[in-house]
Amino acid sequence: MNRKWTKVALAVTVVGTMVGCSSNDNAAPTPGSTQSISKPAKFKVGIGTEGLQYIEGSPNINEDEYTKKLREISKSDVTLELIPHREFDQKLTLLFAGGDLPDLLQTHGINKPEVAPAVDTGVIIPLNDLIDKYGPNLKKNISKEAWEFASVSKDGKIYGIPSVNATPNGSVMMVRKDWLDKLGLKAPKTVDEYLDMLRAFRDKDPNGNGKNDEIPYSGREKLAFTEAFFGAYDALPLDWKFENGQLIPNLIRPQMKQALATYRKMYEEKLLDNEVFVQKAPVWDAKIKAQGIVGLWTHAPRLADKWSAEVKTGTSSAQLEVIQSPVGPDGKGGHSIGSTVGGNVWVVPKTTKNPENVIKFLDWFYSDEAQKFLTYGLEGKDYTLENGKMKYKYPEKQEDIYREEMHLTWLRMVGPLHLTDAEFMKNRPAGDMVLKGMDVASKEGRKNDALGMPSLPTMQTRPELARDGLWLETAAKIITGKEPVDSFDKFVEDWKKRGGDQAIKEATDWYKSTHK
């Protein structure tokens, strides 16, 4: 079969999937060959649901019309098995422990604690030779920097195929512009200006329903999607800073104590959603969209158009604006500046019988037919052809917005993002808001000195030292008022004694060896 392959000069690739063992006896032909096959290559792919409503609400994702179309045009017999978004890391750990692995598996990086041991023990195979032989488009379009990144490679061996980030900074602040306009407010810049805006949202009935039901700022369980104010204090919980000759986690730096004091104030004054430590994604979504009672939230700039449309589903007059993150004492702010490598990295277990088939499958995503399907969906349903020109039905209803995510983002396992399709974005409602969001993201953010650091041995054996361990427990008690802010000092002491000092030594050794 002859295929025309696109020549898109991107830095990386995108990816996502999950599953159990299978046989890959029918190898697919290499891209561009004329070899015919009697039967498509059969394999299973493990994929996270990403918390997407369309995916999680599907009665059988493998009978979905988009999945069927994927099989048809990729000429593969691929089976998708879902990993629940909320339990992704735990399920991955269980999967590796049980040994019943898929042929192609989505991870969040080979240096993550749940994945790193599988690399060290040979459960995940190196892909260098397979990519050289069966992945010409992967090799051509993924940058050297991306291939060498710690979440992708180790000791010169490539163990994963990475996703691509639209911007290195993946989060921005989104605010109800109609609330700002109604209250005569300008977009805030400093932490204090932000707090004043949130107080106005709380007290002045910006949604106009006569009820005191507004939630100024909301996030999801474990304090997720609320980290902008940590950024204002240069204390993003996942990041590290090299200072005084050591690489120190923000979790224990003095700036963290200042940030926690601000979050405590927001919680006490009900400026921050008081369910932020337990709130699941669907509840959070409903508050912002269907109920229309949230004034400020954090999310990806590449999805600004989606949010702009969705806030109107509950309040037709709702308007969205992307604004700069709060700046702190040093006049800076924003979320963590990451790499061009995205959050998803595909790996191939050693139990995969014909690993060349999954590499060919991922390589296919750079074809014109793949990109047309992923961006525009199904003919007759998502687009029509009029006089030879494609007319895309940009979604307006909530159910259509959710369905679009299936082909536009979720099935796009690798390859160029729809954001690089100039015509598609130009005609897309609120496409300009996406571009603005990406511009805002590119101009702010905090540097993480541990960017690319592999999983530290001590952090692997002492997971309580990570963000969701002792720190989250302490942060929850301080923010909700169960313990004083000064209890942070005891946490730091305890963190160091439990292995933190050793983790700092390991991190510092890595930093000095790679920043000579």
pLDDT tens readout for residues 452-501: 888 899 998 999 999 999 999 999 999 999 999 999 999 999 999 999 99
| Residue 275 · residue 226 · CB < 8 Å | no
What is the reported pLDDT for 38? 57
Identify the three-state secondary structure at position 5: strand
Instruction: Determine the Cα–Cα distance for residues 493 and 348; give it in Å rounded to an integer.
Output: 41
Residue with the two structure tokens 């540097």: 447
d(CA 511, CA 262) in angstroms, rounded, equals 31
Between 396 and 212, where is the model more confident? 212
pLDDT bin (cut points 50, 70, 90) of residue 11 is very low
CA distance 68 to 62: 7
Q: Which of 162, 153, 146, 105 is nearest to 128 (CA)?
A: 153
Instruction: Order the strands of the 341-347 sheet from edge to edge.
Output: 76-83, 41-48, 104-107, 341-347, 161-164
| Cα 457 to chain centroid, rounded | 25
- State the average pLDDT for the chain: 90
Q: Which residue has the tokens 């500046």?
A: 337
* Residue 79: strand pairing partners: 44
**pLDDT exceeds 50 at position 6:** no
Residue pair 434/308 in contact by the 8 Å Cβ criterion: no
Structure tokens that stand for 43 in this block: 């394999």
- Inter-CA distances, 262 with 7, 231, 237, 278, Å: 48, 12, 15, 20
Confidence of residue 379 (pLDDT cuts 50, 70, 90): very high
Evaluate if pTM is beyond 0.85: no
Among 229-233, 270-274, 383-387, name the one with the lowest average pLDDT: 383-387
Report the C-alpha gap between 205 and 262 in whole angstroms: 24
Give the pLDDT band (50/70/90) at residue 9. Answer: very low
Q: Considering only CA atoms, which of 181, 180, 151, 176 is closest in space to residue 163? A: 151
What is the amino acid identity at position 286? A
Q: Mean pLDDT throughout 414-434?
A: 87
pLDDT at 4: 31
125 closest CA partner among 146, 153, 147: 153
**Element at 341 (helix H, strand E):** strand 341-347
At 421 the pLDDT is 84
Given a cut of 80, whether residue 281 has pLDDT beyond it is yes
CA–CA dist 334, 324 (Å, integer): 8
**Cα(89)–Cα(113) distance, rounded to whole angstroms?**
9
pLDDT at 118 over 70: yes
Check: CB of residue 504 under 8 Å from CB of residue 456: no
- pLDDT for the residue numbered 497: 97
pLDDT at 44: 97
pLDDT band at residue 516 under the 50/70/90 scheme: confident
Q: What is the mean pLDDT of residues 401-425?
A: 91
pLDDT band at 170 (very low <50, low <70, confident <90, very high): confident
| Backbone region of residue 218 per phi and psi (left: phi > 0; alpha: psi in -120 to 50; beta: other values) | beta
Distance of alpha carbon 408 from alpha carbon 398, whole angstroms: 15
pLDDT at 503: 98
- Listed as own residue / partner, the contacts of 2-5 with beta carbons closer than 8 Å and 24 or more positions apart are 2/32, 2/34, 3/31, 3/32, 3/364, 3/367, 3/368, 3/369, 4/367, 4/368, 5/31, 5/32, 5/137, 5/366, 5/367, 5/368
- pLDDT level of residue 265 (50, 70, 90 thresholds): very high
Any idea which residue has 């005084």 for tokens?
244
Beta strands in 363-456 (DSSP E): 383-386, 389-392, 446-447
Quick one: tokens of 353? 């019988």
Give residue 57's identity as a one-letter amino acid code: G
Tell me the pLDDT tens digit for each residue of 311-345: 998 999 999 999 999 999 999 999 999 888 888 99
- Crossing angle between the packed helical segments 398-405 and 304-314, to the nearest 10 degrees: 150
Q: Alpha-carbon distance 354 to 348, whole Å?
A: 10
- On whether the CB atoms of residues 80 and 61 are closer than 8 A, the answer is yes
Residue 66 has a pLDDT of 98
98 by Cβ neighbours in 10 Å (0-12 / 13-18 / 19+) ranks as exposed
Give yes or no for residue 14 having a pLDDT over 60. Answer: no
3-state secondary structure of 124: strand
Across the range 134-140, mean pLDDT stands at 95
Residue 1 has pLDDT above 80, yes or no: no
Which amino acid is located at 73 in the chain? Answer: I
444 close to 169: Cβ distance less than 8 angstroms: yes
Tokens 């990403």 belong to residue: 50
What pLDDT sits at residue 342? 83
Q: For residues 336 and 444, give the distance between their C-alpha atoms in angstroms, rounded to a whole number.
A: 9
Which residues of 84-178 form beta strands (DSSP E)? Answer: 104-107, 153-154, 157-158, 161-164, 172-176
Mean pLDDT of 57-61: 97
pLDDT at 2: 36
Residue 23 has pLDDT above 50, yes or no: no
CA-derived radius of gyration, the chain = 23
**CA nearest to 253, candidates 504, 428, 464:** 504
Instruction: Tell me the β-bridge partners of 447.
Output: 337
Task: Round to whole Å and give the CA distance between 94 and 122.
Answer: 17
Q: Which residue has the higher pLDDT, 169 or 264?
A: 264
Cα separation values, 84 from 48, 87, 453, 502, 513, Å: 6, 5, 27, 34, 38
Tokens read off for 474: 């302490």
Closest CA to 445 of 166, 169, 165, 167: 169
CB 380 within 8 A of CB 51: no
Residue keyed to tokens 């997971």? 463
Task: Determine the Cα–Cα distance for residues 161 and 134; give it in Å rounded to an integer.
Answer: 13
